Copies of this chain bind each other. A is one copy, B any other.
Amino acid sequence: MNSLTEENYLKALFNIANETGEVNVNELSRRLQIKMPTVTSMMKKLAQKKLVHYESYKPLHLTEKGKKEAGLIIRKHRLTEMFLVDKMKFGWEDVHDIAEQIEHIQSVVFFEKMEELLGYPKVDPHGSPIPDRNGKVVWKDYSKLSDCKVGETVRLSAVINTSSEFLKFLNSREMRLGLKIRIRSIEPFDKSIIVSYGKRQAEVLSNVVCERLLVEKDA
């Protein structure tokens, strides 16, 4: 149906919209590392296929059809990441690039089997929700760790912007999803915070790090 190339555009449109609200040609170009004229012409093509609403100089929007197809690719991506971590024992920092390729495999049963073997997981190894069979995805309303107050105890539920470097940094601090974290103090000057978790009593986390950590306040 859609080419691998088209799939990557759809996915980027979906993800950017989710992160920053509005999508424009420039941002899409930056994200996909593809020059703007190429992006413009692909948008016209996707518009013809009724996957994108396109008007010159206006922000880009996926149609409902486009959202669904994008959601289904992201579903395959996230199921794959979960499979690689759970069943193939990869680290969470090593799965994205492989999933980026496997998400394009055309085989319904392949991903159904994955899902079954995984026990119908709701989230991927980075805490992002796995879209359902219709491509629909719902984010829980997590808070950023950087928005929490002194004294609170929270649970690490997801990470934003899952670069390998960032995930390795978290590994080096023994931080993983599900971790219970207590906020001991916040430095007003640079908004760095001191937290305790596991066996670590006073770990300093910069604001840059805290803004990428999504937490749930414990019930």
**A residues engaging B (CB < 8 A)?**
87-90, 94, 97-98, 101-102, 105-107, 109-110, 113-114, 117
Contact = CB atoms under 8 A, between A and B. Distances in A.
Nearest to A106: B101
B101 A113 contact: no
A73 to B, nearest CB: 15
A179 B107 CA distance: 31
B97 A113 contact: no
A102 B83 CA distance: 15
Contacts of A89: 113, 117
A107 B113 contact: no
Contacts of A109: 90, 94
A101 B107 contact: yes
A88 B105 contact: no
Nearest to A113: B88
* Copies of the chain in the assembly: 2
A84 to B, nearest CB: 8
Contacts of A87: 87
Contacts of A98: 105, 107, 110
Contact of A101 (B94, B97, B105): B105
A179 B101 CA distance: 38
B117 A88 contact: yes
A103 to B, nearest CB: 11
User: 10 smallest A-B Cβ distances: which pairs?
Assistant: A98-B107, A101-B105, A98-B110, A88-B113, A102-B105, A88-B117, A101-B106, A90-B113, A98-B105, A97-B107
Contacts of A110: 98
Contacts of A105: 98, 101-102
18 contacts: A87-B87, A88-B113, A88-B114, A88-B117, A89-B113, A89-B117, A90-B109, A90-B113, A94-B109, A97-B107, A98-B105, A98-B107, A98-B110, A101-B105, A101-B106, A101-B107, A102-B102, A102-B105
